[in-house]
């Protein structure tokens, strides 16, 4: 619905939004991975 109201002569704005979403996704993935690694590191220290 929203895409139909956006002007077609401003593709850079949508590209910036998409790249920001991708960056946020990577940051979330990295934080999840680091948390998992931290949990595994804690488990390794117990054994």
From CA 18, how far away is CA 34, in angstroms rounded?
24
Spell out the residues 6+ positions from residue 14 whose beta carbon is closer than 8 angstroms to its own: 6
Q: What is the pLDDT of residue 47?
A: 54
Q: What is the pLDDT of residue 1?
A: 46
Q: What is the pLDDT of residue 26?
A: 92
Q: What is the pLDDT of residue 36?
A: 85
* ∠ Cα 5 11 13 (to 5°): 85
Both tokens of 43, joined, read 């488990």
Reported as a single tens digit per residue, the pLDDT across 1-47 is 455 555 556 667 788 888 888 998 998 898 888 888 887 777 666 55
From CA 14, how far away is CA 7, in angstroms rounded?
10
């Amino acid at each position: 619905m929203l895409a139909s109201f956006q002007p077609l002569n401003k593709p850079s704005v949508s590209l910036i939004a998409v790249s920001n979403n991708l960056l946020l996704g990577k940051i979330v993935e990295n934080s999840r991975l680091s948390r998992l690694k931290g949990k595994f590191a804690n488990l390794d220290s117990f054994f």
